[in-house]
Structures are given as C-alpha cells and as structure tokens.
Amino acid sequence: MFGNKLNTVISINFQEKSIVFYSMTGDNRQSINVKRVLFRSSEPDEKFFKFFGEQLAEYGRENPSLQAAVVSVVVPDNAVVTDTVNIPAINRKAMDNGFELAMKTMYTNFDEMKTNKMLAASNKQYGTFFVTMIKKEFLSELNKTCVTNRFLPTFVTFPANTTVNAVGKLRPKFKRSSYLMLDIKENYTRVIFAVKGHAVGASVLPFGFEILSDKKVVAEDMLFDHSFADLTVINANERAKAKSLTMMAEDRSQTELEPGDVVNIDGSITKEDGTVIQTDGTIIRPDGTVVPPVENAQDDDGLVTGDDSNAQGDEDDDGTPVEQGGFKAYQRVARKLPKFMQRPTPTNARDFVYENFRIFVKWALSYLRGNDQLTTLAEPEFVLVNMPAEYDFLFERVNADKAEQKIEFVSFDPAIEDNATVTHNLELFGAFYSRNVNTTNNF
C-alpha cells in the first residue's frame, strides 16, 4: 500500500501543548520515528501559526527528502464540531435543502464552516445525518502555513477519527462495530463514540493512567475543577445579599489584575508602581519591604474566607495598610462520604489500582447513559479500553459486575503489537490509513 516511501503525520495537540511529527517508512511499524515539539500557546492564534511554520521549516531542513511531501494533518478534537441532525425522509434533494436550513438554524456561523455529512441512519419518517464541521478560516490558515513551508496536506482530520481508524486497522473484528472507547494516556483520556466503525463524538477527561496508584485511593474531587455549578448557586445567593464574589482559589491573581499590571513568567504580578505580588500572596514593595501572605481560615464546606477587615485597610507592624481585599475562594476538598457509602479499604497494590480504575468505569457508564442522541444511532456493544498492558488484570474484576453495568469492558490488548510507539499513539498511527477510510471525517 505504501511502498518504501516515508509517510508523515503532523499533529497539533493542545492537550499536551505539542506539535508531533510522526513518520513511518512504507508499512514498516518498526521504522516509526516520533518528534515532539512543545509550545505555550493555548489557542491557534497568529503567534501559534508563526511558531508552527517555524517548526515545519526546521523539520523540512532535517528531512530534505520531505520537501514538497504530501502529509496528513491531525488537529485537536475541539477544533472540529460533530453533531447529528434529523431531517424528514423525502427525496434526496429536498433532504439536502432541509439539512442546510436546519444547520443554519442550529449554527448562526454555519456559513463560516466547512461541512461534511453522512447519512448515519434512516427510516420511513426521517433520516439522521452525522455532521462534522471545521472553521474555514482555521483550515485555510493551516493549509497556507503548510504549503508556505513546502508541505502539502492531503487531508486534515481529528484524533477521534484517526483513533477509530487505527482500531479498524489493528483489530479488524471491530472495524464495523459500535462501541465507546477510552484511549487512556498518561495525563488525559480521550473518550470516543464509534458507530459502525465511524467516530461520531469525542470528549477528553483531564486525567489518565497516572491516577492508577497502587498505594492510595485517589479522590476524584481533587482531579479537576467540576464544581462550577455549585459556584453559580453560591454567587447568585451572595449577589442577592450584596456579599463578596466566590471564585476558584487558583484564579485569585487573575481577578485582581488592573490596567498597567504585568504578569511575569513565574506567575507573579508586577504592579504599575513597582510592587510585586508573588504567587503565594507575598507582597514585595518598591522599597524592598516584604509583606507575608495572610493566612485564611477554611470552612468545612471548602470555602476559604478572606479577612474582611483587610478590605477596610488593616495595618501591619509598621502602620502601612495591607491591601488584601476580602474574598471567598473555593478550594478543592476531597468529599467525605457517609460511612454507609464508603467502600472497603484496599489491602494490596492491585486493590488500590482497581479502586482508582473505577473512576474511569463511572465516567464510561455516565457517557453511555447521558448521550441518547448518539447511542440511539446504534447501541454500543462494549467499552474498548486502550492503556498499558500492565493494567490488563483489571478487566476480569471490572467485568465481574457486567450484569449490573449492562456492558462489557474489553481490553485493546496492546501486548499484541508489543510496540508502544503504535499503541500509545493510535491517533497518529491511524492517520496513515485515513485517506480511504471514514472520509466523511476528512477535510
């Protein structure tokens, strides 16, 4: 299929903040070479594309044979919109017109998007289209940057699509299956809905197999901030009572920025008068005086309340007002469950790993039961899990509860390849085979 030419995939990964060059000679998996370049940008802005162009140019210099080479480009999942839309089943032309009208109603910027669609299901009443969209401006800038640096993108696609294509290539028995997939990386997890071998939805969990500790049970509440609904309710009550605003504790420095403030590389803030506020709250005045941070008392509910007297202008030992405006900050605190809800304490390393893996199980079941729009296209047959082979012992224990979970958890079994360069990078490996597979998801 590939001959002996060098095939290259270029991936932009905002989750890892890296640009990845993934190349393979012919179909030889042992020849795969990976180069990762880290960046700081949090969005694909002008600064990012300048850096991206510089890295393309450097990669071209390192690999002269790739000049004017055809490459595949994988962009972040959140750069692509996936959706489904139901259209009354009439003749094809009327359905196409109905589709465009429905999309313009749903998306006010529809004309700014490049759109692909596929008829995913149909009956006598209506047809269900699966839709993928990407901003034309982003796609144009991406292609222009590549061409300027003598790389020719044959197509642009996204990780959920290429991961499912890798599954179809490496596990042919799943090629036309419908399933939920957990592609568990070290620091994050990609969740993918696959319907008859097509990726129709994706999401990312901000934790990976790093939480599978064999020494302690990880508190899910501490993994990431998912209490914004609570904060909304708290703030609504506080505004009604004309009290101070409650915020995530980590965001305090951002809310206190004023015109003229400079945020330094280490996270500290230099005020216009030369005062420096360090990340721990320590204040260094222009004359060198150091004011230590004020200790805040923490309530039982995880709210940290600032000393309201500081808002009035407390004085320190030398009589100078200390500017520490009163505030409340929400800090992540491990939830304490009632005793009857607590699970037995693990007694060995594998028990600890299993208890932590149950976090993934919970999220998988939540995705399955909370996405009727996707599961009605085809009932998921199983949950496919890709993670290092050392954790394969978990599947027997998880599936002991299959009757209650109503679905089986299946290991991708990376030991078959015994090649982490492939199985740890399914979203890159699958791009080699995406030119002729699931073309609906290619732009």
Residues 347 and 207 reside in one and the same domain: yes
* Per-residue pLDDT tens over the stretch 193-210: 999 989 999 999 999 999
Instruction: Give the number of other CB atoms < 10 A from CB of residue 370.
Output: 10
- Least reliable range by pLDDT among 5-14, 145-154, 225-234: 225-234
Instruction: Give the number of other CB atoms < 10 A from CB of residue 442.
Output: 20
Query: In the structure encoding, which two tokens stand for residue 140, read together?
Result: 């144009």
Q: What is the pLDDT of residue 375?
A: 82
Q: What is the pLDDT of residue 99?
A: 86
For range 320-332, the mean pLDDT: 48
The enclosing H or E element of 305 equals strand 303-305
pLDDT band at 98 (very low <50, low <70, confident <90, very high): confident
Instruction: Give the number of other CB atoms < 10 A from CB of residue 353.
Output: 22
Distance CA 270, CA 115 (A): 46
For range 380-399, the mean pLDDT: 95
Residue 23: inside a domain, yes or no? Answer: no
Residues 110 and 254 reside in one and the same domain: no
Tokens 């450097």 locate to: 58
pLDDT band at 12 (very low <50, low <70, confident <90, very high): very high
Residue 71: inside a domain, yes or no? Answer: no
pLDDT(308) > 50: no
Q: Are 411 and 179 in contact (CB under 8 A)?
A: no
Residue 192: inside a domain, yes or no? Answer: no
Residues 234 and 220 reside in one and the same domain: no
- Least reliable range by pLDDT among 105-109, 265-269, 366-370: 265-269
Residue 216: inside a domain, yes or no? Answer: yes
Q: Are 163 and 426 in contact (CB under 8 A)?
A: yes
Residues 253 and 125 reside in one and the same domain: no
Residue 58: inside a domain, yes or no? Answer: no
Distance CA 404, CA 362 (A): 12
pLDDT band at 69 (very low <50, low <70, confident <90, very high): confident
Torsion of CA 414, 432, 188, 440, to 10 degrees: -120
For range 279-304, the mean pLDDT: 64
* Per-residue pLDDT tens over the stretch 247-266: 545 444 443 456 566 666 55
104: containing domain? 79-135
- Least reliable range by pLDDT among 33-37, 158-162, 311-315: 311-315
Distance CA 251, CA 259 (A): 17
Domain boundary among the residues 90, 113, 135 is at: 135
Cα-trace Rg, the chain? 26
Residues 218 and 234 reside in one and the same domain: no
The total number of structural domains in the chain stands at 3
Residue 376: inside a domain, yes or no? Answer: yes
Residues 363 and 399 reside in one and the same domain: yes
pLDDT(173) > 70: yes
Q: What is the pLDDT of residue 302?
A: 43
- Least reliable range by pLDDT among 242-246, 260-264, 424-428: 242-246
Residues 291 and 242 reside in one and the same domain: yes
* Per-residue pLDDT tens over the stretch 395-424: 999 999 888 889 999 999 999 999 999 999
pLDDT band at 5 (very low <50, low <70, confident <90, very high): confident
Q: What is the pLDDT of residue 372?
A: 83
Q: What is the pLDDT of residue 259?
A: 59
Residues 326 and 251 reside in one and the same domain: yes
Q: Are 23 and 6 in contact (CB under 8 A)?
A: yes
Do β-strands 290-291 and 189-195 pair in parallel, antiparallel, or remain unpaired?
Answer: unpaired
Tokens 């000049």 locate to: 67
Distance CA 244, CA 228 (A): 17
DSSP string covering 135-180, please?
A: EHHHHHHHHHHHHHTTEEEEEEE-HHHHHHHHHHHH-GGGTT--EE
Residue 206: inside a domain, yes or no? Answer: yes
Domain boundary among the residues 306, 330, 354 is at: 330
Residue 392: inside a domain, yes or no? Answer: yes
Distance CA 223, CA 187 (A): 11
Residues 289 and 342 reside in one and the same domain: no
DSSP string covering 306-346, please?
A: --HHHHT-EE-TTSPEE-----EEE--------GGGPPPPP
pLDDT(88) > 60: yes
Residues 323 and 255 reside in one and the same domain: yes
Residues 342 and 377 reside in one and the same domain: yes
Residues 285 and 315 reside in one and the same domain: yes
Domain boundary among the residues 286, 306, 330 is at: 330
Which pTM value belongs to this model?
A: 0.75
